[in-house]
Structure 1
Amino acid sequence: MTGRIEEVHGLDPAQLHTQLPGWTTPKVLRGLVAHWPMVAAARTSAAAAVAHLKQFDHGQLPVTATTAPPQAQGRLFYNADMSGFNFRREQIALKVVLDTLLKYQPDPDPPGIYVASTTLDSFLPGFGTCNPLALGVDDPLASIWIGNRSRIAAHQDVPDNLACVAAGRRRVTLFAPEQIDNLYIGPLDFTPAGQAISLVDFAAPDLQRFPRFAQALAHAQVAELGPGDAVFIPSLWWHHMEGLDTFNVLVNYWWRPVPAWMDAPMNALMLAMLALRELPPQQREQWRTLFDHYVFHADPDTAAHVPAHARGVLGALDANTAAQVRSVLRRRLER
């Protein structure tokens, strides 16, 4: 019932910067980072990949390691009654994590071990120079993800994302943002890792509890990635990520093609829930009209009738006006 993510073959990594900034739909880029020494090491063995990583580990900062019992089968999720989670986190030296992953490689039923979203420049300085990729976007944040078999529930991120498989195999399942109704998303403010997630277990979906998930699957896009492959995940696309091997490494790059002064959209959503969701239906519709006028359908004509010097937040925003808006909001929220 699922489709395949559009694939791009033979793209010269040196030409990525000429194409990536304009993409708005998902793409698999086969062999994009096959030239990385990290990929070559991973194709030799997990031990060689670990040795490659260790040469950049200065050992001065512990990483956050997530561990789950074997019965979780790599699914990092809530506990049974959603009062907590089925994993624990601890601060530990990266080399200890790497050695532990190698130790458990022969184990058919190991605990889940996962180091998520660890900033490359801070924890593995020099890795990016040795394994380069020119994206052609401003200020990308490069992170590394290391672990054994894992299943990360479908979630969405605000930034665009280029995820590169450096070791092991990954299965990625994508859904367009409009599939939110069919994915049964959990709490916004109590989440396993900061982002709201789908409550559906993709390995064994309960279609009695989550019947609309069948519709989501009908619109899913899926790909399996090997070492050297990459996938572009546009902003707000839901993505379910699986590490399929006993040792997996992913390097990803996040970026937002917007001015740095812009605020996080989730802040606006949470405030809208606080201010609008419980209004009577007729009033909510009236506010929808205002949002369409001032936000979603705003154009140069929206405030053209107001003298430029008097437009305030109706005019062009910049860092100064953004700071003024934040100041006003802080005062109003503190009431």
Structure 2
Amino acid sequence: MWQHDCPAPDMINADDSLLLDKGLTALLSECDKPLTIRQLVAEWPLVKAAQLGNDALCRYLAGYDKGTVVDAIQLPAKENGRMFYNDALSGFNFTRTRMPFKKALDKLLSEQNNAEADTLYVGSTTVDTCLPNLLSGNKIGLDALDPLGTLWIGNKSRIAAHYDAPDNLICVASGKRRVTLFPPSQAKNLYVGPLHFTPAGQSISLVDFHQPDFKKYPLFKEAISNALVIDLCPGDALYIPSMWWHHIEGTESINLLINFWWRDIAAYIGRSENILYHALLTLKQLPAPQRKAWRDLFDYYVFDDNTARFDHIPPSKQGPLGEIDENTARQFRAWLVNNLKY
């Protein structure tokens, strides 16, 4: 890791009056930057089991297991936990496999004292599918947001910097995590890889955070100057707002976190990423003056905060320029699909 005194995100404790007065949902709904909440989930039975050791943690998890088969990543020890591309960027440096969750736990336990163990990582696994009722006994208090809970468990791991569209609250149950965060504006300095060919669905920074090559990636120095770094212990939680880039490293023999995803818009609105992908196929190919004109048009139609700018159009004719309900979204999605035909 680079030698740099990066500041940490804003931080409060679980007993902070701000949290107690507002409640977790209201507090996070008002946040527009990362927030660490120390010991937010310290009273979870899951965290308390982990405090007794890896064996107790795995017994606790196995008690909820119904024989679910999960996706797992296996990575040679020489990669030092970094899940990434191969040297030619033609494939990846890890293999994917399917295995019973209980088998993954047994393998992690069998290698817990082996400093040279290969990496085994089970990530982005829906908790309710893998371990039914686990969250009923380990509540987070975000029911109003209807979040999706997922688990991430493994030994040493390094997940390359990436962004996620949903808001995200990560809760460390076991082990330690170092999280490095960058605001969305730093995408231009992170040397992001392909959009369509990725290790896990999201495009990632190509910079090795342990050994950054500043000759190859000189703008990364600017990203570092805007980075936030936080070390999380069992019981700690970190709120990562939508679109913030984050690099996550697990450093112990068994690291487990549960995270919660949610969006503050209706599901029928769809995925914003689709706009970016289509713009790359169309707008990016235009001459510079036309791209500038389209930027101005997007500013007017999409990014301008003047809510009265369409008041000259009767509400019944505003369509997607006005309030969008599920019926309007369905109608104009069909209209869009028809216009995409060529």
Q: TM-score, normalised by structure 1?
A: 0.97
Find the partner of 1:178 among 181, 185, 197. 185
Separation in 1 of the partners of 2:312 and 2:305? 14
Separation in 2 of the partners of 1:79 and 1:333? 36
Separation in 2 of the partners of 1:204 and 1:93? 35
Is residue 9 of structure 1 aligned with residue 16 of structure 2?
no
Give the match for residue 159 of structure 1.
166
After superposition, the C-alpha distances for 1:201-260 in whole angstroms (9 at most, x for unaligned) are: 001101110011111111110111110001000010000000010101010000011122
Is there any run of 5+ residues in structure 1 with no aligned partner, and where? none
Q: Which amino acid aligns with 1:183?
A: L
- 311-320 or 40-49: which moved more? 311-320
Is residue 292 of structure 1 aligned with residue 299 of structure 2?
yes
Give the match for residue 97 of structure 2.
90
Contact 1:54-1:95 within 8 A present in 2 as well: yes
- 13-22 or 126-135: which moved more? 13-22
Give the match for residue 40 of structure 2.
32
Q: Which amino acid aligns with 2:232?
A: L
**Root-mean-square deviation (CA), in Å?**
1.3
Contact 1:11-1:29 within 8 A present in 2 as well: no
Separation in 1 of the partners of 2:99 and 2:113? 22
- 253-262 or 143-152: which moved more? 253-262
Find the partner of 2:55 among 44, 47, 52. 47
Separation in 1 of the partners of 2:14 and 2:339? 54
After superposition, the C-alpha distances for 1:104-143 in whole angstroms (9 at most, x for unaligned) are: 1111111111001100111101110111110254210000
Give the match for residue 56 of structure 1.
64
Give the match for residue 132 of structure 1.
139
Contact 2:25-2:145 within 8 A present in 1 as well: no
Find the partner of 1:222 among 229, 243, 253. 229
Is residue 148 of structure 1 aligned with residue 152 of structure 2?
no
Q: Which amino acid aligns with 1:56?
A: Y
Q: Percent identity?
A: 46
Task: List structure 1 runs of 4+ shifted beyond 4 angstroms.
Answer: none
Separation in 1 of the partners of 2:29 and 2:314? 35
Is residue 315 of structure 1 aligned with residue 319 of structure 2?
no
Separation in 2 of the partners of 1:309 and 1:122? 44
Shift of 1:5: 1.5
- 293-302 or 89-98: which moved more? 293-302
Contact 2:125-2:150 within 8 A present in 1 as well: yes
Q: TM-score, normalised by structure 2?
A: 0.95
Contact 2:70-2:125 within 8 A present in 1 as well: yes
Shift of 1:334: 3.1
Separation in 2 of the partners of 1:156 and 1:75? 17
Is there any run of 5+ residues in structure 2 with no aligned partner, and where? none
Give the match for residue 238 of structure 1.
245
Number of aligned pairs?
334
Q: Secondary structure at the match of 1:208?
A: coil
Contact 1:137-1:255 within 8 A present in 2 as well: no
Contact 1:155-1:239 within 8 A present in 2 as well: yes
Is residue 280 of structure 1 aligned with residue 279 of structure 2?
no
Separation in 2 of the partners of 1:256 and 1:154? 21
Shift of 1:311: 2.0
